[in-house]
Structure 1
Amino acid sequence: MPEPALHVAFLLFPHVTQLDLTGPAQVLSRLGNAKLDLVAKTLDPVPTDAQFSLLPTATFDQVPRTDILCVPGGFGTVAAMEDDETLAWLRQVAADATWVTSVCTGSLLLAAAGLLTGYRAACHWASREQLALFGVEPVAQRVVFDRNRVTGGGVTAGIDFALALTAAIRGEEHAKFVQLSLEYDPAPPFDSGSPERAEPATLARYHAMIEKFSPGRAEKVRAIAEKLRG
């Protein structure tokens, strides 16, 4: 018996962290009987944080609903949080979606759209506590399920998130098959993947990078939250 057809819509916005999107997309493309769309305001190429662009496959108007909504994060998150058209589309498709999901700071975008209020959620470690500004309970885990909201932590957690979601939809055996097919068997060369284990100099270098590419990000997110509270 064939698997039920599924549609997966990824939000695409300028200066997205491409692995937030492409990691889960690679996994979810193997759900079986699934169609993926990269949805943006226009069909113009969208610049990512990796010095290359991604091509949208559909515009907001062309995707009024979806089964799975996935929102990545990145340096462009704050600008997307301030874009009324983007927030309106998120609210529209989330209303009927079976799963409303995010990776990294994409959960802040969902929160700004009012879609995580009263939920538990993950986020990139450097921005996690900002979720509380929007009435969301921050959780320090790589993958968080709360009803039909599924959120992943920073960047690489998107692969874990997508495998966990695959298991919830198609079963654990299929998720294990996908994991094997991608040879997802991580063995990082350095134990520096969290702020708790990173060296102080590495941590300071990260914060300096954030301030360079997204100056005043925390203050801007706070201002957005205060504006939404009205």
Structure 2
Amino acid sequence: PDAALADAPQLDVLHVPGGFGQEALMRDEAVLGWIRRQAEGAGHVFSVCTGALLLGGAGLLRGRRATTHWSAFALLPYFGAQPVDRRVVVDGTWVFAAGVTAGIDGALRLAAELRGIEVAQAIQLGMEYAPEPPFDSGTPRTAPAAILERARSAVAEITARREATARGIAADLGIALPAG
């Protein structure tokens, strides 16, 4: 359904996706205010990839265990989050998925929470979700050094913009920046 943010009803599950478009929204008070209001009333909050940075921009990560895409993982402390280097992190009724494919894992965890393990298992079977990646290069820990360096170079510009924005948000939130 189409609706303006102001007209959207209270959601049972607030899903905050990430991707390259999120960077422009990290200081958009209309979006951040909506996220704050929705998160307050939602039964569950589900962040995928760099959607965690939007939750951080809204001031909602302080003290929360969270994860995000590897290229933005070091920014989580700027928002007061406790970074956890895992594909999926559950903190109460909040579910964080590291990258886009981890979103499937997180969605299945959320489905189990909302409708039970058997429903989540049926969804997993229906999708035939049994990943067998052809290469062991899906994380910075496992990717060959040359591949990791190319990937870091490819996202260096947006990573720098995200860090600059995160520094400003940390200052606004009164969060001491990590040393280094």
Runs of 4+ deviating beyond 4 Å: 212-215
Contact 2:26 2:165 in 1 (8 A): no
Unaligned runs of 5+ in 1: 1-36, 38-56
1:36-56 CA distance string (max 9 Å, x none): x5xxxxxxxxxxxxxxxxxxx
Range with greater deviation from structure 2 (151-160 or 111-120): 111-120
Deviation at 1:58, TM superposition (A): 2.4
The structure richer in strand per residue is 1
Give the one of 134, 154, 157 matched to 1:209: 154
Give the one of 101, 108, 122 matched to 1:163: 108
Give the one of 131, 135, 139 matched to 2:84: 139
**2:178 matched residue in structure 1:** none
**2:40 matched residue in structure 1:** 95
Give the one of 110, 114, 126 matched to 2:59: 114
**1:18 matched residue in structure 2:** none
Partner Cα separation in structure 1 for residue 164 and residue 35 of structure 2:
23
Alpha-carbon RMSD across the aligned residues, in angstroms, is 1.6
1:73-114 CA distance string (max 9 Å, x none): 111222111101000100111111000120111111111112
Residue 193 in structure 1 maps to residue 149 in structure 2: no
Deviation at 1:229, TM superposition (A): 2.9
Partner Cα separation in structure 2 for residue 183 and residue 193 of structure 1:
20
Contact 2:87 2:102 in 1 (8 A): yes
Give the aligned length. 175
Q: Secondary structure at the match of 1:191?
A: coil
How high is the TM-score relative to the length of structure 2? 0.90
Residue type matched to 1:59 in 2? Answer: A
Percent of aligned positions that are identical? 47
Residue 153 in structure 1 maps to residue 86 in structure 2: no
Q: Secondary structure at the match of 1:126?
A: coil
Deviation at 1:211, TM superposition (A): 2.4
Partner Cα separation in structure 2 for residue 113 and residue 183 of structure 1:
36
Partner Cα separation in structure 1 for residue 116 and residue 159 of structure 2:
39
Partner Cα separation in structure 2 for residue 75 and residue 144 of structure 1:
22
Contact 2:79 2:170 in 1 (8 A): yes
Greater RCO (Cα-Cα under 8 Å, separation 6 or more): 2
Residue type matched to 2:72 in 1? Answer: S
Contact 1:75 1:214 in 2 (8 A): no
